[in-house]
Amino acid sequence: MTMETVDLRSDTVTRPTPAMRRAMAVAEVGDDLFGEDPTVRALEDRLAGLFGFGAALFVPSGVMANQIALRLLVAPGQEIVCDADAHILAHEEGSPARYGGIQTRTVRGERGLLGVEALEGALRPGNAYTVGTRAVALEQTHTRAGGTVYPLETLRAVRRLTDRAGISVHIDGARVWNAHTATGTPLREYGSPVADTLSVCLSKGLGAPVGSVLLTAAEHLPRARSLRHGLGGGMRQSGILAAAGLHALDHHLERMADDHAHAALLAAELRDAGCAVRPQETNVVLVDAPGAEEVVAGAAREGVLVTAPGPGVVRIVTHLGVGRQACRRAAGVLAALMGEGRRTGGGSAAAERAQQWKESEVA
Ligand SMILES: *Cc1c(COP(=O)(O)O)cnc(C)c1O
């Protein structure tokens, strides 16, 4: 019997479905740098409408969407404030500093989330000799904190604070879809009422192969297009890719509730096995496990792929490519490695086990 691999490393590993590929194949296209790709336009218009913004820009990646947004809002030598574990800091190659000349100041959020209390003391007005804070950057849901959801009330309170301070808000909404799915909050509420710029990913839980969209006010669009071009993100017949995004909005948004149910199932089974599972809110499950690297290696040997995003933490992410049965099997494998009756863990037992694996590989 062949064992099917269960890939729970990230919701980026999804492959386009046959129906999505068909939608891509028949997409009407034109040269988007001339503004002539009708499918790109349709995607941009649809997302601008969904989130209540005046303009949208289709870009190749979430990193690019975030970096264009920050440069729209913040000039070189000015400052953003964000959570200490934000994606824009941890996973974007230092781009705010590198390309935007933007200084970053961090505040440690509560499970990644920054409220008014945390931010209030951090914002500086700036003057002739003090760097001024120009924007606050938030992440919805917060990836490294385990897919945590910003409560709408917190976003509204932050918006009131930044309005009073006369500064902007960027939301990295790569997984805003998951926040919407978890809370039922309309997408629009997570958009223009609480943010000046919002980036959303089509290639995470929505399951498109490529693409993110930057949402902002209409007046920012010419500069956003210029920044995209300067970063090498200008695309031509990109309607082929935008078609995948449109298809995903039609067919993959509602089903995201399944991903959350599967994550809840994994969390419950691992908890039952005695694992130290952190609170699970969306499609990400974090488990505190000494010897996380060995857990990742041990699971992989049984065809279950997960990651260790930090020391002593195992991360599991559900998505449309993994069904309920596969999640059950993954839970069994992971429970055996991390649960109370585990075969491996931290310390020397794990090292011994790792050594045995190495030897068996040689053999
Ligand atoms: C995935 C992700 C991004 C962007 O990633 P790309 O790989 O560039 O598309 C940005 N922010 C968060 C929180 C993400 O999870």
Give tens-digit pLDDT for 204-253.
999 999 999 999 999 999 999 999 999 999 999 999 999 999 999 999 99
Q: Which phi and psi angles does 81 have, rounded to 5°?
A: -115, 130
According to DSSP, residue 121 is labeled T
According to DSSP, residue 5 is labeled P
- Assign a CATH topology to domain 18-251: Aspartate Aminotransferase; domain 2 (3.40.640)
Q: What is the pTM for the complete model shown?
A: 0.93
- DSSP conformation letters of 244-307: HHHHHHHHTSTTHHHHHHHHHHHHHHHHHTT-EEPP--SSEEEEE-TTHHHHHHHHHHTTEE-E
CA distance 284 to 262: 10
> Above pLDDT 90, what percent of the chain?
92
- At 351, the pLDDT band (50, 70, 90 cuts) reads very low
pLDDT of residue 187: 98
> What is the pLDDT averaged over residues 64-82?
98
Q: Residue ranges of the domains in the chain?
A: 18-251, 255-359
Question: What's the mean pLDDT when you consider all of the chain?
Answer: 94
Q: Is 83 in the pocket of ligand 1 (CB under 6 A)?
A: no
Q: Is 139 in the pocket of ligand 1 (CB under 6 A)?
A: yes
CA distance 132 to 344: 50
- At 341, the pLDDT band (50, 70, 90 cuts) reads confident
Q: Which phi and psi angles does 34 have, rounded to 5°?
A: -90, 5
CATH 3.90.1150.10 fits 255-359, yes or no: yes
Residue 63 CA, closest ligand 1 atom number: 8
pLDDT of residue 348: 44
Q: Is 62 in the pocket of ligand 1 (CB under 6 A)?
A: yes
Strands (E), the chain: 6-7, 55-59, 79-83, 103-107, 133-139, 168-173, 197-201, 212-216, 276-277, 284-288, 304-305, 307-310, 313-317
Q: Do domains 18-251 and 255-359 have the same CATH topology?
A: no
pLDDT of residue 346: 45
Q: Is 143 in the pocket of ligand 1 (CB under 6 A)?
A: yes
For residue 360, is pLDDT > 80?
A: no
Residue 12 CA, closest ligand 1 atom number: 1
CA distance 299 to 302: 5
Residues making up the chain, counted from first to last = 363
- At 354, the pLDDT band (50, 70, 90 cuts) reads very low
For residue 179, is pLDDT > 50?
A: yes
Instruction: Using alpha carbons, select from 124, 142, 141 the residue that is nearest to residue 133.
Output: 124
Structure confidence by residue, pLDDT tens digits, 268-288 = 999 999 999 999 999 999 999
Instruction: Using alpha carbons, select from 139, 126, 124 the residue that is nearest to residue 89.
Output: 139
For residue 1, is pLDDT > 80?
A: no
CA distance 192 to 51: 6
| Structure token pair of residue 272 | 């039952």
- At 56, the pLDDT band (50, 70, 90 cuts) reads very high
| Structure token pair of residue 120 | 């209030």
pLDDT of residue 343: 59
Strands 103-107 and 284-288: what pairing? unpaired
Q: Is 225 in the pocket of ligand 1 (CB under 6 A)?
A: no
Interval between CA 169 and ligand 1 midpoint (Å) = 18
CA distance 329 to 6: 8
Structure confidence by residue, pLDDT tens digits, 9-35 = 999 999 999 999 999 999 999 999 999
Structure confidence by residue, pLDDT tens digits, 78-93 = 999 999 999 999 999 9
Interval between CA 147 and ligand 1 midpoint (Å) = 12
pLDDT of residue 342: 76
- At 169, the pLDDT band (50, 70, 90 cuts) reads very high
Strands 284-288 and 276-277: what pairing? antiparallel
